[in-house]
A = this chain, B = another copy of it.
Amino acid sequence: MSTGTLTIDLAAMAKNWTALDAMSQAETGAVVKADAYGTGIGRAARRLAQTGARKFFVAVAEEAADIRHALGPDPEIFILSGHMSGDTDMISDLNLIPLLSSIDQMLRHFEALPGAAFGIQLDTGMNRLGMEPAEWEAVRTLVIPQAPKLIMSHLACADEPEHPMNAQQLAAFTQMTDGIDAPRSLAATGGILLGPEYHFDVTRPGIGLYGGLPFIDAVPVVSIDLPIIQTRDVATGESVGYGNTWIAERPSRIATVSCGYADGIIRAMGPNTELFAAGTRVPIAGRISMDSIGVDVTDAKDLPSSLQLLGQHQSVDTLAANAGTIGYEILTSLGARYTRRYIG
């Protein structure tokens, strides 16, 4: 086995869902797009459904098949990109609910699948997806009688609780939807943490389920262990890896592990990142290669057969900070070569 092992703790995922669910009076859904943030959409959806989720959110129609297959006909599956050209058959066959984000999409849906379920996505200032206030004003009296399954919007700055954009979007959403007899949803993980006025009828946690910030109480879900291919001694002054960027400052022991940026170990994190040898910090030595990483294991007493990159000693958010990005990108970059192991 020369690939890394990605261990996914489904019990931790369930615990995170339950904790986020307990924070609101709303119904709690689950965002499982991007292969459930790299954890495996079928397994994640099944566990979250067992835990209580009944509404699942994906980015594109193609992502819904694994959920429908895993969970059968009952759960509602919402598509955040709405009803795109070419999606009609999938929406119909899999009984999906597109979150219509424009009048174009609305016309496409009503014409292609009259009477079929749908939701509405409103733009409240992020200017990404959703109908503008003026568009919505023009069509709402036509739409409401057709009983949308959900009316939603998305917050641009929910990770920054003090940002004035949050209150602005809340006010806009309230104004656009007050008095409408349909379930409403504004909050993803960050929105849940902002407090009850953001919760409405349905919440849509994503990153928090998978152990990432801004849900600081999240239980870690993913760990990554990388098998050592070989170890070697290098003398003071010898270099390691591409471009000779790492030079031994003392007689050192280098382990080369199997895993690299082709597995989503973002190359930019190299200079700042440590792995763990059974609890001992062992820093990356030199550039991350496509399929391997050199690690300075000089300080490790008893070298195990694999080193841990992500897990109890180091979170996705630490890796994200090392790479100059966010935990979401760490998780969704994890590639196909890992052996995926489910526990819990």
- A residues neighboring B (CB under 8 Å): 1-3, 33-35, 59-63, 79-82, 84-87, 101-102, 104-105, 123, 125-129, 132, 156-157, 159-160, 163, 165, 227, 229-230, 232, 234, 238-244, 254, 256, 258, 260-262, 264, 266-268, 286, 289-292, 294, 305, 324-326, 328-329, 332-333, 335-337
Contacts and interface: CB of A to CB of B under 8 A. Distances in A.
A123 B230 CA distance: 12
| Chain A contact residues: helix, strand, loop or mixed | loop
Contacts of A254: 127
Contacts of A328: 261, 290
- How many protomers of this protein does the assembly include? 2
Given A156-B244, A264-B333, A84 B125 contact: no
A291 B326 contact: no
A60 B337 contact: yes
User: Considering residues A34, A63, A165, A290, which has the most beta carbons from chain B within 10 angstroms of its beta carbon?
Assistant: A290
Contacts of A227: 84-85
Contact of A240 (B126, B163, B289, B291): B126
Contacts of A160: 243
A332 B261 contact: yes
User: Considering residues A123, A159, A332, which has the most beta carbons from chain B within 10 angstroms of its beta carbon?
Assistant: A332
